[in-house]
Structure 1
Amino acid sequence: MKISLKFFASVREALGTGQDSLELPQGAATVGAVREALVARGGAWAEALGQDRAVRMACDQVMCGPETAVADGAEVAFFPPVTGG
């Protein structure tokens, strides 16, 4: 299953890219599994997306949690929490 990835704000800056794609490993079918697969790349990926980092996620432009299922062709986005007024 292949999905599209989008990265915003400080996550994009840390990774040096705003988009990527990922062929999910067999059995990986949630947004949490996508995050784990990216962290497994190591380096900047592990630092920017590690479980100790406050990162928000969206699947197909809808905010979601790690348990959200992803389908082939889905778009998964990662971004830092945002506050403002």
Structure 2
Amino acid sequence: MAEIRVTVRLFASLREAAGTGSLDMRLPPATPVGAVWSHLPDALRAGAPPEGLRYALNHVWTLPGAPLREGDEVALVLPVSGG
């Protein structure tokens, strides 16, 4: 089965844990954006995706079910807390 190449952008604690702001990944064609979490290295995805995790596909907010295509860029954005 052919694979597609995508870039995954990481922010906040994900970026810190990875030691980088992006990962180049190979995934099955039409993988849903929300499934990217399950393909991250084990050290980054300890457990289920955090509540409130948002996804951007090619710089546009998107739903987890959006299919990925060759060359796409996915951003994983964690919720921000503050006070």
TM over 0.5: yes
Note if contact 1:28-1:34 (Cα within 8 Å) is conserved in structure 2.
no
Matches within 5 A, 1:25-44: 26=28, 29-38=31-40, 41-42=41-42, 44=43
**Is the aligned partner of 1:46 residue 2:49?**
no
Write the letter of the residue equivalent to 2:22. Q
TM superposition shift of 1:61: 0.7
Moved over 4 A (4+): none
Identity %: 37
| TM-score, normalization by structure 2 | 0.77
Aligned-residue Cα RMSD (Å) equals: 2.1
Q: Mind listing any 5+ residue stretches in structure 2 that lack a counterpart?
A: none
Given the two structures, how large is their TM-score scaled by the length of structure 1? Answer: 0.75
Deviation digits for residues 3-53 of structure 1 (CA, Å, limit 9, x no counterpart) = 0111112221122210110010x3552102222111xx31x2222xx4251
